[in-house]
Amino acid sequence: MTAPVAKSPVRSNDELQREKQLFTLRSELALKEIQREKKEIEEELHQLEQERQEFDKLKAEASLANTYNQALFTFI
């Protein structure tokens, strides 16, 4: 006795075309989502870089003020 052979599902050309279209649409949607997230991340990075520059500027000003105060108190 031989074991029954499993039939592979035969899909019509229309079914294959629909699967291909669905795959393409899902891929395009995923790409758009990735591009949107990339843009958001780039905008956030730009904002953080601006904040870092402002912080560095304030830190330099504070250091200069501290040096000035130390020099002033040295002479008093």
What's the pLDDT tens digit per position in 3-57?
666 666 788 999 999 999 999 999 999 999 999 999 999 999 999 999 999 999 9
Alpha-carbon gap, residue 71 to 23, rounded angstroms: 71
In a domain? residue 12: no
* Residue 65 falls inside a structural domain: yes
User: Which residues form the domain of 32?
Assistant: 19-75
Is residue 13 one of the residues assigned to a domain? no
Burial of 66 (0-12, 13-18, 19+ CB in 10 A): exposed
Instruction: Judge whether 14 lies within some domain.
Output: no
pTM: 0.63
Q: Is the dihedral of CA 66, 72, 75, 76 positive or negative?
A: negative
Considering the domain boundaries, does residue 32 fall inside one?
yes
**What is the DSSP secondary structure assignment for residue 4, as one 8-state letter?**
P
Q: Quote the CA–CA distance of 47 and 54 in Å, as a whole number.
A: 11
